[in-house]
Structures are given as structure tokens and as C-alpha cells.
Chain A
Amino acid sequence: SQKIEQNSEALNIQEGKTATLTCNYTNYSPAYLQWYRQDPGRGPVFLLLIRENEKEKRKERLKVTFDTTLKQSLFHITASQPADSATYLCAPAGAGSYQLTFGKGTKLSVIP
């Protein structure tokens, strides 16, 4: 069955450093991969979508890579700030997929 693993449940990083979060998937080949941010008690917020033919996508301080050979996506936040502290969820999806299947998320804490 399809499996999505996000590298760790929690990641602590010093303010100003680059945070790197990992999303690994097995037993399927997604055509898309979405990343969301979720704050405690609130709904997830869409950040980025990357397609299988895009190796990298950037949005301000965010960068996402998608390696279909390694079956992995990396999510980077450069110059991290305490306001970036949240849980980040990845959701790979096949072409023609109606629904999202989320990983359990990585809780990022940026320490001042």
C-alpha cells in the first residue's frame, strides 16, 4: 500500500538557518506533490505544488525539490524565522487524483 514518511516528527533549528524537511513515499509514483503548513488547531494552508517534471520550485524563502528516482521531496525554508514554526505536511498525488493523502507532518520549531 502507499506510504508517506516525513523525516521526523519534530525538527528544531536556530533562527536564520535553513530548515530542510524530507518527504519520502513508497509504492506509487505521484505526478504532483503539494506542501501545506498547519498551525495548532487551524486548517492547513497551501504553500507549494510541484509537478513530476519540475525538479525544483521556489516561492520567496521556500524551495521544494522533487526527485522521482529517490521517491523523495525536500522542503527548504531559508533564513528561518520564529514565525515559520508550524507543522509542515506533504501530500503526493497521482495524475488524475481527486483526493490528497497527507503525511503525518514534521513539527518545525525555529528558536530565536
Chain B
Amino acid sequence: DSGVTQTPKHLITATGQRVTLRCSPRSGDLSVYWYQQSLDQGLQFLIQYYNGEERAKGNILERFSAQQFPDLHSELNLSSLELGDSALYFCASSVGLLGGGLHEQFFGPGTRLTVL
């Protein structure tokens, strides 16, 4: 158990809808990262927050947005969903800002999103 929690575990929805994925980082970790994993693309970085502020952005679509709250939990909002958005979405956390190198990341169990 990594200490990172994600809800819900599974989500099935229709095209055009909007969903919110939630993540609670490990106790004491200030950085939260969101990743998308699909079969053909592998694990793709979406966005990072550190202590409430956005710090890095990857290939995140404009239809997607995220935020980190004062209690450090984070939410990823996906809107106008398309079939191609079906994937596993992972949240990860790290103790410091430099989760791209110096600091290891701890991943949650993921949310499996299916868009029908």
C-alpha cells in the first residue's frame, strides 16, 4: 500500500459527460501528479501540483483540468468526454518538488475510466 488513495476505482460514463477523479496523497507529501495510461500510449504525465500551485504541465488536453486543495488532496476534472479518453488515470505523490528526478513518486491504485 503506497499510502496514496484514489476514488472511484471504476467509472463508466457516456461521451460528452464530465467526471471528477479524486486523489489523496501520502501524509506529508506536497507534490501531486496525474498520469494517464492507455494501452497504446503508455504512462503519460498530465500535470503536477505542489502545495496548491500548478508547477508542471504535460500533454493535458484543454478539456481536462485539475486543482490541489489546501488539505493537499487533488481532483482531476475531465469534461466533454470522448471514447479515446478511456484509460487508467493514476495519481502519484512525492515529498518534494523535484519528483522528476530527485524524489521517488508513490502511485495510487488508479481510476479506470470507461467512456461508452
Contact = CB atoms under 8 A, between A and B. Distances in A.
Contacts, number: 74
Contact of A103 (B42, B109, B112): B42
Nearest to A49: B104
A93 B108 contact: no
Interface string A39-63: 0011111100100000000000000
Given A103-B42, A104-B42, A41 B101 contact: no
Interface stretch (B13-21, B74-82, B92-100): B92-100
Interface in B59-106: 88, 90, 92, 97-102, 104-106
Contacts of B107: 43-45
Contacts of B31: 98
Interface in A61-85: none
B99 A99 contact: yes
Given A43-B109, A44-B107, A46-B106, A101 B45 contact: yes
A43 B101 contact: no
Main secondary structure of the interface of A (DSSP, over half): loop
B106 to A, nearest CB: 7
B43 interface: yes
Interface of B: 2, 4, 31, 33, 42-43, 45, 48, 50, 55-56, 58, 88, 90, 92, 97-102, 104-110, 112
Interface of A: 30-32, 34, 41-46, 49, 89, 93-105
